[in-house]
Structure 1
């Protein structure tokens, strides 16, 4: 029986490729709207809603003022750390079920000054130095044996797992990308802590207990 591992590739073809094709199409529309003086540059189309784009194609108007406003809002939103985790008032049972897959909805009541609780996702213990990685531009910071601390990971982050000694994430459950890849690389992982990127900083020394889902801060 012939077989092929396509898990990481499937994310590219199903998730990324659709967006990539749509992006090329939208950039063509952006060029058209630049020619009609509705936009300054074609990439500005990504700061508009679909109904606004449709309206502009029928009746081009100068949207530069609105787009500048949205760019500033976007930059501000990128700096927000306490985004709402859900809307409405879910039942406690629903929250408990969601935590299995999404990680902590609220900070664990058992957390302390030196201890963070999360989901036990890849067994084993490891003690090492923290590196908080916020985005792909910071990949260079991670050195061999560092503890990777991040909000979550995607297939693009897989290369870091051969360098990291352990992994801690804010979001994600036991079936998240972070948890699965950590198990494959046989490094301890505690995921879904909600607060790791806020509480931990570069250079902190932590013990990651992936068997029990506990991160212990060991700084003097």
Structure 2
């Protein structure tokens, strides 16, 4: 049986369990599961950019644990001059969907808290008016969405859309944003080969610290 720490809460109410099947994963189990992908998270080639997707994010316990491991791996493997850029790319690699509004907000808040805490401890300015904070906030808002993974619709009833954040070859710190829908991702992964006729915004290549500006490309 998995041991719980004193402050852990696996259910919020019986009603939520009955209605939504909501049961949280114990931290010890999260650790055991992430240990299985330790190489991808912390030491393997391009570990910063390895993508993780949580289709039922809850209050973000898996997402926070993934980000925490990536941040500390960056701290060990990169010089401090690269921490701001690399931690933003790490944040850009983490995706999640959560059905319930309070859990969704908690997941977003927890990711931002751990990101800010890392940089404040490192002596990097990460207040609300900095490019670092604004871009971290924007990446979290774009990557961690409220919606229904089964239907592919967000809280407003629209199709769930994410963005890829591609590094630009031979241009360190530069990123190219490429929007996509959850349904297109599903179709490609199942080999259906269906065309995606959705019209997406097109964005200018920019430094990852400036993604919050969301500068549209001239097309």
Asked if TM exceeds 0.5, the reply is no
Find the structure with the greater CA-based Rg: 1
> Given the two structures, how large is their TM-score scaled by the length of structure 2?
0.21
Give the number of the structure with larger relative contact order, counting CA–CA contacts within 8 Å between residues 6 or more apart.
Answer: 1
